[in-house]
Amino acid sequence: MPTEPLRCAGALIVDDDGRLFVQRRSPERRLFPNTWDIVGGHLEPGEDAEDALRREVAEETGWTVSHVLARFPAFRWTGDDGLDRIETDFLVRVDGDLSRPRLEAGKHTEFRWLTERDVALLDENRDVDDGEIRRIVEDAFAALRSIGR
């Protein structure tokens, strides 16, 4: 078991209408199966958080990060696998056909673009993630309001 926490990067992808992208993890996933999540994943050896962000967005959606609008403070969490992680999330815009993400086969089953009024959808995860994804998404909407986008 690792003694150092795993490092992760997450993308809060915003569209031109101010909506945020979420995707449902497949039921076969070991960590948080069948739950809504943001795009992201673990850093590979030698990567920094922004490099991992760009790689994960491309792998999980087929899109390319065009602008980083905000970087959120890193936070620590423990997965349902018992491993500690430190995650850094970014609010980003992307290039590509936003109506047709290329969901990573076997890893994600559906996607949604959420408005602020839609965040209650993320309460489906509350028993698994203790409301963490909803908090992350609410923080991103607050950041969007503060930067006027």
DSSP 2: -
What is the distance in angstroms between the CA of the first residue and the CA of the last residue of the chain? 42
- Helix and strand numbers (H, E) in the chain are 3, 8
Confidence of residue 149 (pLDDT cuts 50, 70, 90): low
Q: What is the overall mean pLDDT for the chain?
A: 92
41, 29 Cβ separation under 8 angstroms? no
pTM of the model: 0.93
For residue range 83-139, list pLDDT tens digits in order. 899 999 999 999 999 999 999 889 999 999 999 999 999 988 777 677 889 999 999
pLDDT at 82: 84
- In terms of DSSP bridges, do strands 6-13 and 84-95 run parallel, antiparallel, or are they unpaired? parallel
pLDDT at 83: 86
CATH topology of domain 6-147: Nucleoside Triphosphate Pyrophosphohydrolase (3.90.79)
Q: For residues 40 and 32, which has the higher predicted lDDT (pLDDT)?
A: 40
pLDDT at 6: 92
107, 115 Cβ separation under 8 angstroms? no
Q: For the chain, which residues make up each domain, given as ranges?
A: 6-147
68, 140 Cβ separation under 8 angstroms? no
Least Cα distance to 61 among 99, 33, 26, 91 occurs for: 99
Confidence of residue 148 (pLDDT cuts 50, 70, 90): confident
